[in-house]
Amino acid sequence: MEPRRVVVTGLGALTPIGNTLSTYWEGLLSGTSGAAPITYFDPTLFKTQFACELKGFDPLDHFDRKEARKYDRFAQYALVSVAEALEDAKLPVETIDKDRVGVIWGAGIGGLETFQNEVLNFAASNENPRFNPFFIPKMIADIAPGLISIKYGFRGPNFATVSACASASNAMIDALNYIRLGYADVMVTGGSEAGVTKAGIGGFNAMHALSKRNDDPKTASRPFDKERDGFVLGEGAGALILESYDHAVARGATIYAELAGGGLSADAYHMTAPHPEGLGATKVMENCLRDANVLPSEVDVINMHGTSTPLGDIAESNAIIKVFKEHAYTMNINSTKSMTGHLLGAAGAIEAIASIMAIKHSIVPPTINHETPDENIDSKINFTFGKAQKRNVDIALSNTFGFGGHNACVLFKKMN
C-alpha cells in the first residue's frame, strides 16, 4: 500500500512569549525574549535565578479549581494547547469517527513539580508516609495523552514519547507514521513541559547546563555567540492536528503544510554531550531528507536545536555543513530558543509550529542576542541574526536533540 500523505490542519501554542498561536508568532517576529527572573519560587540560593516562564497563565481560566488540582502543570499546558489546535482545525469533534483519532504526546520529564512537592512534603512530615492520591497519575508522562483522549473521547492510538528534548518531535514522527500506515485518520500530537521548578533549576545547575547571566536574563539565550554559557530553561506546550490528506480535503479543512518526513538517530556517544563531530545530527538530517524524498538543495530554512550551549551549537552547525555543503550558505538558519528558551520535551512542538508559520507567511523568525562571533562556527552561515527575514519558504526542517543522544528531525512542505 502506498503511504498516505499527512498534512497539518490545526495549531496551538502556549509559550513564554505568547499564550496563543497568534501571540506566539507575533513574539517570534518581533524578537521578544521570554527570559525574566523566576517568580514561581524564591531562586536566591540558586546559581541561575531566571527562566522563560509563562506570562499571565492562570489554570482557573481553563479548569475549575477541583479539576486543576488533579493535573500537574505540564498536563494543564497540554490540554490548553490542544483545545486551541482543535478549534483552529475546526475538527468536528462531536461527529468524527473517534476510533480513527489518536493522541501521541511528548514530554521529556512529565510531572516534575508534582514529584518534587510530594517528596518535600514527605521529608517535612517526619517520614510519615502520606501522599496525595493523585501523586502517581499527576506525575507520569503518559497522563497528558490520556487526559486529552478522555476529554474528547478519542479512542485511537494513545501513548507518550519520552526522549528528553526530542520527545515532541518523536511524537510527531510516530503520529505521521500511524496515519501513513492507515491506523488513524487524525492524530493529535505535540509536547508539553513544566520544568521551571526548584528541582529543574537545581538539577540543570548541577550539570552546569544553564546560563548564569543573572544580571541580564533577556540576553542569556544567545545561540552561536562566543559568550554563550548555557541554555535558558523554558516551559509550555505546542499542539498540532495531523490528518491524512484525503481526510482533510474531504471535510474542507484549511491546510497549513504537509508533514513530509521525519528522521531519527542516536549519537551512541555520551549521556549529555553531543557527538563532537556531529555524527548523530548529520545522520538524523540525512534520514529525514531521505524519508521525505527531498534533496538537500531544496531546503529553505532550518530551525536548529540551537540551545546556546558551548558544545552543542558547534556540533550542529558543523553537521549542517556536512549535510548541505555549499547550500548551507544559501539557506536561512535560526534558533527560536534565543527567544523562548529551551522547553525540553515541548521544544520540538513549538519549533515545528515556528517552521510551519514561516512557510505560511514567507518570513523567517530571527535568532536574537548575537553580539560576538565564535571563531569555531562558520560565519558564512545565515543565522538570521537580529531581525526576521522575508523569503519564500517551500521546505522547512526542524531539529531536536536530547540527553542520551536522541535525535529527531521533521520536515514540512508548502502545499501547492
Pairwise CA distance, residues 47 & 213, whole Å: 9
Cα→Cα distances 381→115, 252, 277, 317, 412, Å: 43, 40, 18, 9, 21
Single out the catalytic residue among 52, 275, 288, 305.
305
CA angle in degrees (0–180, nearest 5) for 306-312-316? 70
Pairwise CA distance, residues 115 & 214, whole Å: 27
Q: 6-250: which CATH architecture?
A: 3-Layer(aba) Sandwich (3.40)
Helix (H) or strand (E) holding 355: helix 347-361
52 in catalytic set = no
Q: Say what the pLDDT of residue 416 is.
A: 79
8 Å CB contact between 190 and 77: no
8 Å CB contact between 230 and 209: yes
3-class SS of residue 324: helix
**CA atoms 9, 14, 19, 23: torsion sign:** negative
Same fold, 6-250 and 263-413: yes
Give the strand pairing for 301-303 and 395-402: parallel
Q: Say what the pLDDT of residue 129 is.
A: 84
Nearest to 260 by CA among 187, 180, 371: 180
8 Å CB contact between 229 and 212: yes
Cα of first residue to Cα of last residue in the chain, in angstroms, is 24
Cα dihedral 379, 381, 383, 389, rounded to 10, equals 120
The neighbouring-strand residues paired with 301 are 332, 396
Pairwise CA distance, residues 166 & 106, whole Å: 8
Q: Say what the pLDDT of residue 1 is.
A: 72
8 Å CB contact between 257 and 176: no
305 in catalytic set = yes
pLDDT of the chain along its 416 residues, tens only? 789 999 999 999 999 999 999 999 999 999 999 999 999 999 999 999 999 999 999 999 999 999 999 999 999 999 999 999 999 999 999 999 999 999 999 999 999 999 999 999 998 988 778 899 999 999 999 999 999 999 999 999 999 999 999 999 999 999 999 999 999 999 999 999 999 999 999 999 999 999 999 999 999 999 999 999 999 999 999 999 999 999 999 999 999 999 999 999 999 999 988 898 889 999 999 999 999 999 999 999 999 999 999 999 999 999 999 999 999 999 999 999 999 999 999 999 999 999 999 999 999 999 999 999 999 999 999 999 999 999 999 999 999 999 999 999 999 999 97
Q: Say what the pLDDT of residue 43 is.
A: 98
Place of cell 492524530: 187
Place of cell 496525595: 132
Nearest to 351 by CA among 50, 28, 53, 32: 28
8 Å CB contact between 182 and 2: no
Q: 263-413: which CATH architecture?
A: 3-Layer(aba) Sandwich (3.40)
Single out the catalytic residue among 247, 342, 370, 406.
342
Quote the distance between the C-alpha of residue 281 and its chain's center: 17
Domain ranges of the chain: 6-250, 263-413
8 Å CB contact between 360 and 394: no
List, for residues 209-255, the tens digit of each pLDDT value.
999 999 999 999 999 999 999 999 999 999 999 999 999 999 999 99
C-alpha cell recorded at residue 394: 517551500
Single out the catalytic residue among 165, 370, 406, 409.
165
Q: Say what the pLDDT of residue 128 is.
A: 78
